């Protein structure tokens, strides 16, 4: 018997034939296919009983009610809370995708101190004890050196419990430098104070109004307004008119019954022009003006000085003249004024989620239209909501150091003689620091939200100023642009992980206080900023410690909200319908006890000799010949322009002619584009007095020739790779321009030039 | 064993989207991503490779400033009934491995990711580009896997996916009905994630066969139309618009044809 | 080349050599058949022990003979599946019987606040939506029909897991080739098994979305 | 020097020369194989395809290669069924070319799916209504037939032929080849047709959609017809190329002559049908869906009306006329030109029926979708060419592919 190659071959063939008669090949084929259906790297979400928790979104100041679906300790999805008075179930994409920020790579996962150079991104994990004692030591040292006023605090709000605790802390410690980051509400609130004499917010009864005249408000394109406005728009019948005044066909303009494309920066003129027609034709509420108006007619003060009134002021704003300024047909101005005046419940809106900064005068001019319509505190009209007072305080005593510190002038210059009524001037802070000789006037900066290095008007000079501040603490939840430049990170939990009170959002016509509450247990080693302040105060001891008799933030909330806590816990919000006083009698707290068309307070601060010429418009710096175009920012609800960046989901929704790879597209009218030899998709260089940017071109018929529009919210460096590095920050290209009346930034755009790259 | 419960009465779930109300905010898209575990990428700007079960298209009337008008058109899967209203939708009939079928009880076109082997014939067949391919393995950075919805399975690379009209919500509603001993679902019990999320209530969802559901009358209203109706795909997603130019860009017309007449002729032909 | 002469020898017809070739063929055939039918199934599955040897019989008696005392429907229509630690704790916060498994449960899970990692015999893959409500409430089926009479078992069987797919051997099924009959007295639960039963009971295998997600 | 592996009485180049040639082509092949593994490992993101281009270069290559491989079935049909003895001279080569084309198509199909390990679902979970299912089944079956047709030729290698068993096997297979040829023709009819059906049934794509007979759109028949017409042209072209490279006469002129004539008439009748189809589509089918003809050929950088003219006239009518005119086709240069044009024409047709279908927008607010293949796609598309060259080289060297080679090249 010879065993040769053929035997071996037969063995193999026999084996192969046999194998086909077994399950092996067939089962393996099947199982390998099943393996591709159950790849271990494809996640399999764990199931369990679903729970629905009511809370409120705090990612912008809109204050929308949400319902979070959870499974176990996982937040699965955010949906609108249908019965919430602010948004009635409507939510913007950011609220819906909040879980992405909760679990995303943007989170700061625990307290850290800087390990390398500033901004290098090197961090060392530390314990909370070490973190808090570092802050305490630094603050104690500055106090011993008698420089408590060199501590400043920046926050995105001055109206919730954390803001109050911070403010209280600063006062007990001895610093007047609590600063709120800028927003379009600044000028609006100042105008409210000047003409109504009240500190608070303005509410619009959109749901009942039949004519909404919006002066460039990103009602449905921007944060803050979207929840309220989209819910109102959803309910609107076809008879309600929404008129959008804006040079670009925004989404709000697209949905409006009428799009009035006035040149940007001429809103004040248009408002006065509309006022002109109404006054000229007697289309205004005479009864209201007679009993509650001030400075409608020319007047004299006690000293016998003559001051012109609103009537004389608008005389200069004839439709013919305003048509020239605004670029609108006279006919449009006339008919718009008449339509507004004849509507039953008209309301004029400005300073509510505007993408561009607006002047106080613009706000006053629009208030005047509402006054002419006599729609204050009436259904479908304008309501004044006072600053929240739901947090009941205990009195506190402060020591001498503190009281000396508190009496120092604010570093940002707010409240000084020049800007007597302005509360915060965040945009002047960088200048104040950069222009100081020697040490920075700010020796320690606490940043509790607001992400100033992104949201300030001139981020480059803000960054330069921050470099001079020796000690920066960020309480940010995310590795935002400001946290990147900080020395110490004390991360605040995500809003789905903690309690937070939310006061009445701007635009709401009634008081609504909501409570955000822990939907899931904290994912990372974070601590509530309120807790950190209380603990720091305790560490500092003495009067400061005594000013904070609470265990922690939650304890503080429960105690100060005593009456409303239960309602808030149960319902998620608390609203005050009954106690609202809609009478006009006590509405005005100006010195005249009336609505001041041309506020005395305003003139006094401006110290104008010739009040007639006082309606100054903010002109843009730069040479018109060199920079023939105008760059204007625009909001889109798919990109977040504020402190907290958009989520990756939101970026995903953005069209390829807005962002493509790293590039942002600017919108240009095809007519303008052809003048500069630009076609769709071209790479171009955009030049403004503040700097240059590489952009791409998107031709859009819906934008006024001569303009270049860029979306706000891009050009971030912080957060995560999913967000950073796309496009440029449009506000970095728009140098701040101070509103002479307030010192606030009122740069509505920037002169610009564009050329093929 | 007892008989199959009486949930089998045929329904025809459909959607009516009021374009006059759609602000293009993208809430529907984001809600859909969150509900259906749609992955995302660092750079998702290549829209032809970006997973979307509903896309909001921006269209304009082509007129010069300031007569320009813009309309947003949200496009989920149209859940076509097919040429003869028998479930012969363009994609279902071409799938070689029965990875997609027409669910007769609801009229919803399914997509089974574990059956799909990624030939992409269905994508070639779909005139709406509603079908999307998983070009990459999905990746959820940091702790993002925690927010994934267990009601919808995560997809792997190499398969096609598309809008399911949130069929899992139908399943869950049915389960609840079973437990409560009910046969029928209420209109509000089964709503898609996009419908629920739409902040201006532009989207209405329900059973087109059921006269008590809002979609029944809305889909029959004067301003109702569907996209590419002339292809005879018979979509179950209807649109409403008061603007005639919007209607014109929703389908193809030869010179001299007008949408109303063509629609009328179609209806007449259908009744014959 | 040397093969040439070999071939020629073979071609000449050496009888015994032909037999040798055939014998080798048969060896290959039989060996592969045996290893394919006997060894392969053993290799394909890994065997795992349940974390705790649970006694269904005892619990069934204590809980009034009802499966749904522990495996119940939630209000939203979903099925609870295996009880959570919280649910077990409502009785077993402290030892009740002195049984060693109970002690282990309390020591390792209750006291450490850890969920028990039960191995679910009938665990369906993530692409499957299985409605207990439709079967139990809608079609009035008994648990044992699919799961076998696990309720009267005093001990948990070992759990077998397919090394390639990660499937439990219990759902293993008819598709391609099944490797043995179910030994738990219930039914296989792979898709073809579901379809077969649906076809018999409802006249249709059902549409894809009925069971897939 | 003649080694036993090389068929008797023919001369082949030196081993060194042959190895060098294989190395060059092998390098190209390896490049393709590298790209292939890259695609299998990393997935289809390695391609230039996207959601608008679910089908792209590969599907075109598949369709084209199968149309060109149609020479095998049609020559087989003519030789074995009709009994055209003249074609015996070329039939072996036609089979080899067909085998290369079909194996390439299968390889590309295996690449072109997102989940290759589930590829067998197309057979196991087949949807009988899908044209692709029909393609898969017929393609695989016909590939099996081609393999069977190829085997006897392989067995005729002098070394293998010495083994009595293989010798008898090969002989017996020759006897029944007519049966396989008939099966092949039947299968080919269906898969060529169903490939046409792939695009033609897409009623959501007015550019591709064609009405038809029962369940088959007109493209079903047009594809079969065009493959039958152009397949032999490709066979002739490759044969001519082989003759040029080897500097030998390999096939009897009668074979060329007959094949050219038949091809010409097939092409002419195909063109008449194709033009009629195009006319009906442009005048009735598309307008009923709101499209005018020129909408399909304007507003984009590539697809102008030129492509229709190129396909129908320059690469359709012109080669058909050359091939049916005896005087013209006798001129080798004209014959080859006609064959090249015809092959180009069918490639354009397949390109249009795949890529232009994907490119044309459907909604008025959409733009044309453009596509650029990546090097990985290109490399894997060239891979079959390299593989084909190698297989042809090996077959030519070691197998008696051309039965009349000895007779045509006396004294070598």
Q: Which of A170, A141, A163 is nearest to A443 (CA)?
A: A141
**pLDDT for residue C3:** 42
User: C45 by DSSP, 3-state: which?
Assistant: strand
Mean pLDDT in residue range A467-475: 97
- With cut-offs at 50, 70 and 90, classify the pLDDT of residue D4: low
What is the distance between the alpha carbons of residues C28 and A13, in angstroms, rounded to a whole number? 7
- Least confidently predicted of A732-736, C170-174, D230-234: C170-174
Pairwise CB contact (< 8 Å): A10 & C21: yes
Q: How far is B32 from chain D (nearest CA, A)?
A: 19
Any chain D CB within 8 A of the CB of A8? no
What is the distance between the alpha carbons of residues A599 and A605, in angstroms, rounded to a whole number? 10
Any chain C CB within 8 A of the CB of A521? no
For the domain A128-184+391-500+520-565, what is the CATH code? 3.40.50.740
CB atoms within 10 A of CB C26: 14
- Chains in contact with A, where contact requires at least 3 CB pairs less than 8 Å apart: B, C, D
Q: Which of A338, A301, A298, A300 is nearest to A314 (CA)?
A: A298
CB A490 within 8 A of CB A473: yes
**pLDDT for residue A250:** 96
- Ranked by mean pLDDT, the top range of A382-396, A486-500, A568-582, D165-179 is A486-500
Q: How far is B177 from chain D (nearest CA, A)?
A: 33
ipTM of predicted complex: 0.94
- What is D110-127 written as a DSSP string? HHSSS-GGGTTHHHHT--
- With cut-offs at 50, 70 and 90, classify the pLDDT of residue B63: very high
**pLDDT for residue D189:** 82
Q: What is the CA radius of gyration of chain A?
A: 29
Q: Report the percentage of chain A scoring pLDDT > 70.
A: 97
Mean pLDDT in residue range D377-393: 95
Nearest CA in chain A to B58: A655
Q: How far is B208 from chain C (nearest CA, A)?
A: 20
The minimal CB distance from B59 to the residues D132, D198, D365 is found for: D365
How many alpha carbons fall within 13 Å on the CB side of residue B39? 23
What is the torsional sign of CA A139, A143, A145, A150?
A: positive
- With cut-offs at 50, 70 and 90, classify the pLDDT of residue C15: very low
Any chain D CB within 8 A of the CB of C4? yes
CB C117 within 8 A of CB C51: yes
Mean pLDDT in residue range D222-231: 94
Q: Which of B67, B91, B71, B70 is nearest to B80 (CA)?
A: B91
- What is D52-112 written as a DSSP string? S-SS-HHHHHHHHHHHHTHHHHHHHIIIIII--GGGHHHHHHHHHHHHHHHHHHHHHHHHS
- What is D241-301 written as a DSSP string? HHHHHHTS--S-HHHHHHHHHHHHHHHHHHHHHHHHHHHHIIIIITGGGT--GGGGGSSSS
DSSP state of D48: S
Sorted by where each begins, the domain ranges of chain D are: 15-408
- Least confidently predicted of A124-138, B128-142, D391-405: D391-405
**pLDDT for residue D207:** 96
Chain A residues lying within 8 Å of D117, measured CB to CB: 32-33, 35-36
Nearest CA in chain B to A659: B45
Contacts for B63 with CB less than 8 Å, ≥ 6 apart: A701, B69
Contacts for B186 with CB less than 8 Å, ≥ 6 apart: none
Q: Are strands A573-576 and A306-307 parallel, antiparallel or unpaired?
A: unpaired
Chain A residues lying within 8 Å of D118, measured CB to CB: 33, 36
Pairwise CB contact (< 8 Å): B95 & D130: yes
Q: Which residues pair with A70 in a beta bridge?
A: A51, A75
**pLDDT for residue B98:** 95
Higher-confidence residue of A499 and A738: namely A499
- With cut-offs at 50, 70 and 90, classify the pLDDT of residue B272: low
Instruction: Using the predicted structure, report yes or no on whether residue D88 has a pLDDT greater than 90.
Output: no
CATH number at residue B198: 3.30.70.20
Secondary structure percentages of chain D, helix, strand, coil, to 5: 75, 0, 25
- Least confidently predicted of A29-38, A611-620, C154-163, C180-189: A611-620
**pLDDT for residue D253:** 87
pLDDT, tens only, D35-55: 999 999 999 999 999 999 999
Mean pLDDT in residue range D136-157: 88
Instruction: Using the predicted structure, report yes or no on whether residue B5 has a pLDDT greater than 50.
Output: no
What is the torsional sign of CA D78, D83, D85, D86?
A: negative
Chain A residues lying within 8 Å of B42, measured CB to CB: 648, 721-722
Q: Report the percentage of chain A scoring pLDDT > 90.
A: 81
- What is B106-166 written as a DSSP string? TTEEP--TTT-----HHHHH-TT---EE--S-----TTGGGG--TTSPPP-TT-EE---TT
Instruction: Using the predicted structure, report yes or no on whether residue D364 has a pLDDT greater than 60.
Output: yes
Nearest CA in chain B to A45: B150
Pairwise CB contact (< 8 Å): B119 & D112: yes
pLDDT, tens only, B175-200: 999 999 998 999 999 999 999 999 99
In a domain, B221, yes or no: yes
Instruction: Using the predicted structure, report yes or no on whether residue D1 has a pLDDT greater than 60.
Output: no
Q: Which residues pair with A484 in a beta bridge?
A: none
What is the distance between the alpha carbons of residues A645 and A724, in angstroms, rounded to a whole number? 9
Q: Which of D347, D311, D324 is nearest to D263 (CA)?
A: D324
Higher-confidence residue of A64 and D71: namely A64
Any chain B CB within 8 A of the CB of A654? yes
Higher-confidence residue of A575 and A533: namely A533
**pLDDT for residue C13:** 46
User: A113 by DSSP, 3-state: which?
Assistant: strand
Chain B residues lying within 8 Å of A651, measured CB to CB: 40, 44
Chain B residues lying within 8 Å of C77, measured CB to CB: 172-180
pLDDT, tens only, A167-206: 999 999 999 999 999 988 899 999 999 999 999 999 999 9
Residue C37 Cα distances to A29, A30, C44, C168, C176, angstroms: 16, 16, 11, 19, 14
Q: Are strands A471-474 and A444-448 parallel, antiparallel or unpaired?
A: parallel
Could you say which architecture CATH assigns to the domain A200-386?
A: 3-Layer(aba) Sandwich (3.40)
Instruction: Using the predicted structure, report yes or no on whether residue C182 has a pLDDT greater than 80.
Output: no
Q: Report the percentage of chain D scoring pLDDT > 70.
A: 99
Q: Would you state the torsion angle of the CA atoms of residues A34, A36, A37, A42, taken in this order, to the nearest 10 degrees?
A: 140
- With cut-offs at 50, 70 and 90, classify the pLDDT of residue A253: very high
Instruction: Using the predicted structure, report yes or no on whether residue A378 has a pLDDT greater than 60.
Output: yes
Any chain C CB within 8 A of the CB of B199? no
Task: Tell me the H-state helices in A471-613.
Answer: 529-540, 542-546, 553-560, 562-571, 600-606
pLDDT, tens only, A85-125: 999 999 999 999 999 999 999 999 999 999 999 989 999 99
Cis upstream peptide for C210 (omega within 30°): no
Q: How far is D182 from chain C (nearest CA, A)?
A: 33
Mean pLDDT in residue range A477-491: 97
pLDDT, tens only, A666-675: 999 999 999 9
The fourth-level CATH superfamily of domain D15-408 is: Formate dehydrogenase/DMSO reductase domain (1.20.1630.10)
Counted residue by residue, chain C has a size of 213
CB atoms within 10 A of CB A280: 15
Any chain C CB within 8 A of the CB of A303? no
Contacts for B264 with CB less than 8 Å, ≥ 6 apart: none
DSSP state of B104: T
DSSP state of C38: I
Chain C residues lying within 8 Å of A28, measured CB to CB: 164
Sorted by where each begins, the domain ranges of chain C are: 2-45, 119-210
For the domain A629-756, what is the CATH code? 2.40.40.20
DSSP state of A583: -
What is the distance between the alpha carbons of residues D19 and D12, in angstroms, rounded to a whole number? 12
Sorted by where each begins, the domain ranges of chain A are: 5-37, 128-184+391-500+520-565, 200-386, 629-756
Instruction: Using the predicted structure, report yes or no on whether residue A608 has a pLDDT greater than 60.
Output: no
- Least confidently predicted of A412-416, B24-28, D286-290: A412-416
Residue B166 Cα distances to A82, B76, B162, D136, angstroms: 20, 11, 10, 33
Nearest CA in chain A to B200: A234
Any chain D CB within 8 A of the CB of C7? yes
Instruction: Using the predicted structure, report yes or no on whether residue B236 has a pLDDT greater than 60.
Output: yes
pLDDT, tens only, A300-311: 878 888 888 899
Chain A residues lying within 8 Å of D115, measured CB to CB: 36
- With cut-offs at 50, 70 and 90, classify the pLDDT of residue A576: confident
In a domain, B4, yes or no: no
**pLDDT for residue C178:** 57
CB A491 within 8 A of CB A111: yes
Q: How far is A567 from chain C (nearest CA, A)?
A: 26
- Chains in contact with C, where contact requires at least 3 CB pairs less than 8 Å apart: A, B, D
Give pTM, 2 decimals: 0.94
Mean pLDDT in residue range C25-44: 91
CB A24 within 8 A of CB C38: no
What is the distance between the alpha carbons of residues A525 and D97, in angstroms, rounded to a whole number? 68
Chain A residues lying within 8 Å of B202, measured CB to CB: 234
The average confidence (pLDDT) of chain A is 92
**pLDDT for residue C17:** 64
Instruction: Using the predicted structure, report yes or no on whether residue B51 has a pLDDT greater than 60.
Output: yes
- Count structural domains, chain B: 1
Instruction: Using the predicted structure, report yes or no on whether residue C4 has a pLDDT greater than 80.
Output: no
- With cut-offs at 50, 70 and 90, classify the pLDDT of residue C19: confident
The minimal CB distance from B58 to the residues A46, A47, A655 is found for: A655
Nearest CA in chain A to D116: A33
Residues of chain D numbered 88-127 and touching chain A (CB < 8 Å): 115, 117-118, 120-121
């Amino acid at each position: 018997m010879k065993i040769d190659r053929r035997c071996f071959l037969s063995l193999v063939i026999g084996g192969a034939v046999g194998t086909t008669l077994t399950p092996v090949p067939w089962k393996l084929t099947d199982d390998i296919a099943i393996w591709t259906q159950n790849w271990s790297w494809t996640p399999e979400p764990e199931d369990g009983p679903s729970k629905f928790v009511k809370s409120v979104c705090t990612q912008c100041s809109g204050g929308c009610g949400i319902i979070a679906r959870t499974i176990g300790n996982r937040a699965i999805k955010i949906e609108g809370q249908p019965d919430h008075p602010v948004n009635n179930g409507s939510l913007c994409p950011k609220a819906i995708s909040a879980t992405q920020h909760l679990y995303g790579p943007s989170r700061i996962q625990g307290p850290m101190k800087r390990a390398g150079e500033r901004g290098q991104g090197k961090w060392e994990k530390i314990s909370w004890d070490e973190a808090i004692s570092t802050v305490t030591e630094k603050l104690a040292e500055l106090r011993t050196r008698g420089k408590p006023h060199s501590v400043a605090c920046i926050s995105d709000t001055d109206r919730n419990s954390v803001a109050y605790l911070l403010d209280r802390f600063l006062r007990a410690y001895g610093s007047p430098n609590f600063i709120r980051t800028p927003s379009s509400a600044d000028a609006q609130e100042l105008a409210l104070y000047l003409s109504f004499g009240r500190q608070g917010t303005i509410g619009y009864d959109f749901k009942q109004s039949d004519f909404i005249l919006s002066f460039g408000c990103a009602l449905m394109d921007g944060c803050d307004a979207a929840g309220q406005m989209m819910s109102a728009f959803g309910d609107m019948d076809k008879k309600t008119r929404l008129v959008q005044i804006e040079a670009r066909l925004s989404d709000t303009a697209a949905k409006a019954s009428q799009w009035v494309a006035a040149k940007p920066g001429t809103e004040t003129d248009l408002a006065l022009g509309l006022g002109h027609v109404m006054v000229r034709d007697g289309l205004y509420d005479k009864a209201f003006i007679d009993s509650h108006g001030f400075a409608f007619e020319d007047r004299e003060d006690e000293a016998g000085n003559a001051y012109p009134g609103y009537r004389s002021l608008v005389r200069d704003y004839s439709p013919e003249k305003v048509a020239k300024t605004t670029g609108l047909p006279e006919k449009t101005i006339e008919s718009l004024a008449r339509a507004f005046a004849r509507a039953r419940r008209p309301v004029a809106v400005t300073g509510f989620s505007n993408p561009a900064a607006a002047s106080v005068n613009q706000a006053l001019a629009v208030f005047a239209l509402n006054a002419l319509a006599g729609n204050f505190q009436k259904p479908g009209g304008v309501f004044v909501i006072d600053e929240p007072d739901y947090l009941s305080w205990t009195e506190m005593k402060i020591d001498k150091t503190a009281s000396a510190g508190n009496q120092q002038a604010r570093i940002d210059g707010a409240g000084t003689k020049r800007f007597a009524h302005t509360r915060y001037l965040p945009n002047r802070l960088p200048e104040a620091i950069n222009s100081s000789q020697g040490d920075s006037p700010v020796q320690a900066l606490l940043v509790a939200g607001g992400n100033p290095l992104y949201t300030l008007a001139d981020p480059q000079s803000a960054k330069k100023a921050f470099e001079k501040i020796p000690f920066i603490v960020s309480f940010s939840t995310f590795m935002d642009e400001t946290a990147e430049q900080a020395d110490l990170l004390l991360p605040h939990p995500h809003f789905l992980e903690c309690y937070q009170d939310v006061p009445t959002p701007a635009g709401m016509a009634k008081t609504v206080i909501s409570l955000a509450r822990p939907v899931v247990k904290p994912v990372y080693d974070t601590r509530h900023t309120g807790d950190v302040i209380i603990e720091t105060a305790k560490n500092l001891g003495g009067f400061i410690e005594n000013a904070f008799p609470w265990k922690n933030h939650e304890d503080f909330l429960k105690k100060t909200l005593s009456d409303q806590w239960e309602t808030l816990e149960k319902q998620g919000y608390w609203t005050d319908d009954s106690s609202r006083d809609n009478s006009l009698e006590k509405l005005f707290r100006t010195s005249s006890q009336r609505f001041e068309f041309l506020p005395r307070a305003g003139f006094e601060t401006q110290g104008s000799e010739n009040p007639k010429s006082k309606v100054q418009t903010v002109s843009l710096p730069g040479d018109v010949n060199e920079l023939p175009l105008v760059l204007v920012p625009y909001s889109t609800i798919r990109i977040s322009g504020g402190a907290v960046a958009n989520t990756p989901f939101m970026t995903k929704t953005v069209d390829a002619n807005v962002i493509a790879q790293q590039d942002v597209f600017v919108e240009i009218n095809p007519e303008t584009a052809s003048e500069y030899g630009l076609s769709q998709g071209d790479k171009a260089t955009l030049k403004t007095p503040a700097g240059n940017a590489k952009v791409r071109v998107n031709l859009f018929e819906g934008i006024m020739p001569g303009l270049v529009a860029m979306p706000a919210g891009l050009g971030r460096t912080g957060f995560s790779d999913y967000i950073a590095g796309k496009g440029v920050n449009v506000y970095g290209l728009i140098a701040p321009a101070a509103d002479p009346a307030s010192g606030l930034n009122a740069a509505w755009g920037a002169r610009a030039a564009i050329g093929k790259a | 064993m007892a008989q199959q419960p009486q949930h089998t009465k045929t329904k025809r779930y459909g959607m009516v989207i009021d374009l006059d109300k759609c602000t293009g905010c993208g809430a529907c898209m984001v809600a859909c991503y969150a509900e259906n575990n749609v992955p995302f990428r660092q750079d998702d700007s290549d829209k032809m490779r970006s997973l979307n079960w509903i896309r909001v298209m921006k269209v304009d009337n082509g007129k010069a400033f300031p007569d320009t008008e813009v309309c947003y058109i949200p496009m989920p899967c149209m859940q076509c009934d097919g040429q003869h209203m028998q479930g012969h939708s363009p994609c279902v009939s071409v799938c070689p491995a029965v990875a997609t079928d027409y669910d007769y009880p609801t009229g919803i076109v399914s997509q089974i990711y574990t059956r799909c082997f990624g030939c992409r014939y269905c994508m070639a067949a779909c005139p709406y580009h509603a079908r999307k391919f998983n070009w990459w393995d999905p990746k959820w950075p940091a702790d993002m896997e925690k927010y994934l919805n267990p009601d919808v399975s995560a997809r792997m690379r190499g398969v096609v996916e598309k809008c399911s009209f949130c069929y899992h919500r139908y399943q869950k509603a049915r389960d609840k009905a079973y437990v409560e001993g009910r046969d029928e679902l209420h209109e509000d019990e089964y709503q898609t994630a996009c419908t629920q999320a739409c902040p201006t209530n532009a989207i209405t969802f329900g059973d087109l066969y059921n006269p008590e559901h809002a979609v029944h009358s809305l889909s029959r209203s004067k301003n109702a139309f569907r996209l590419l109706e002339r292809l005879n795909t018979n979509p179950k997603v209807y649109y409403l618009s008061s603007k005639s130019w919007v209607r014109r860009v929703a389908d193809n017309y030869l010179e001299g044809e007008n949408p109303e007449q063509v629609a009328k002729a179609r209806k007449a032909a259908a009744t014959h | 080349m040397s093969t040439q002469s070999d071939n020629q020898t073979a071609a000449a017809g050496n009888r015994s050599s032909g037999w040798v070739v055939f014998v080798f063929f048969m060896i290959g055939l039989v060996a592969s058949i045996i290893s394919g039918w006997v060894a392969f199934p053993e290799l394909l599955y890994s065997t795992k022990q349940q974390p705790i040897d649970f006694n269904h019989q005892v619990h069934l008696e204590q809980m009034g003979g009802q499966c749904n005392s522990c495996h119940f429907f939630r209000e939203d229509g979903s099925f609870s599946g295996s009880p959570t630690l919280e649910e077990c704790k409502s009785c077993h916060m402290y030892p009740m019987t002195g049984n060693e498994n109970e002690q282990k449960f309390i020591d390792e899970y209750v006291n450490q606040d850890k969920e028990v990692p039960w191995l679910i015999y009938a665990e369906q893959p993530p692409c499957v939506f299985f409605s207990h409500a439709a079967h139990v409430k809608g079609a009035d089926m008994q648990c044992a029909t699919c799961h076998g009479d696990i309720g009267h078992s005093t001990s948990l069987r070992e759990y077998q897991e397919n090394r390639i797919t990660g499937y439990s051997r219990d759902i293993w099924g008819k598709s391609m080739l099944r490797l043995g009959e179910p030994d738990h007295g219930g039914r296989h639960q792979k898709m073809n098994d579901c379809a077969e039963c649906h076809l018999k009971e409802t006249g249709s295998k059902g549409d894809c979305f009925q069971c897939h997600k | 020097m003649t080694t036993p592996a090389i068929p008797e009485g023919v001369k082949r180049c030196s081993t060194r020369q042959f190895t060098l040639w294989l190395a060059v082509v092998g390098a190209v092949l390896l490049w393709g194989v590298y790209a292939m593994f890259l695609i299998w490992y990393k997935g289809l993101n390695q391609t230039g395809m996207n959601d608008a281009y679910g089908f792209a270069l590969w599907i075109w290559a598949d369709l084209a290669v199968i149309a060109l491989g149609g020479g095998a079935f049609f020559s087989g049909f003519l030789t074995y069924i009709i009994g055209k003895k003249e074609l015996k001279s070329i039939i072996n080569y036609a089979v080899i070319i067909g085998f290369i084309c079909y194996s390439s198509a299968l390889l590309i199909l295996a690449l072109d799916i997102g989940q290759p390990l589930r590829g067998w679902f197309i057979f196991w979970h087949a949807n009988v209504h899908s044209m692709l299912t029909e393609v898969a089944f017929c393609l695989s079956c016909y590939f099996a037939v081609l393999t069977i047709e190829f085997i006897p030729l392989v067995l005729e290698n002098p070394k293998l032929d010495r083994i009595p068993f293989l010798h008898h096997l090969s002989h017996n297979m020759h006897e029944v080849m007519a049966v396989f040829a008939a099966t092949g023709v039947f299968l080919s009819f269906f898969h060529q047709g169903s490939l046409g059906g792939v695009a033609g049934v897409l009623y959501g794509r007015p550019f591709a959609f064609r009405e038809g007979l029962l369940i088959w759109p007109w493209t079903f028949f047009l594809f079969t017809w065009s493959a039958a017409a152009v397949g032999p042209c490709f066979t002739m072209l490759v044969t001519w190329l082989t003759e040029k490279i080897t500097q030998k006469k390999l096939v009897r002129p009668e074979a060329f002559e007959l094949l050219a004539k038949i091809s010409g008439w097939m092409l002419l009748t195909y063109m008449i049908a194709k033009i009629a189809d195009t006319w009906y589509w442009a005048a009735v089918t598309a307008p009923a869906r709101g499209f005018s003809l020129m909408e399909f050929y304007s507003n984009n950088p590539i697809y102008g009306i030129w492509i229709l003219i190129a396909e129908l006239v320059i690469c359709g009518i012109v080669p058909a006329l050359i091939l049916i005119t005896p005087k013209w086709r006798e001129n080798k240069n004209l014959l080859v030109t006609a064959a090249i044009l015809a092959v180009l024409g069918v490639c354009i047709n397949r390109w249009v029926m795949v890529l232009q279908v994907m490119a044309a927008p459907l909604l008025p607010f959409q733009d044309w979708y453009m596509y650029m293949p990546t090097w990985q796609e290109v490399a894997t598309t060239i891979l079959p060419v390299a593989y084909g060259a190698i297989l042809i080289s090996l077959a030519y060297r070691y197998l008696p592919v051309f039965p009349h080679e000895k007779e045509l090249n006396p004294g070598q």
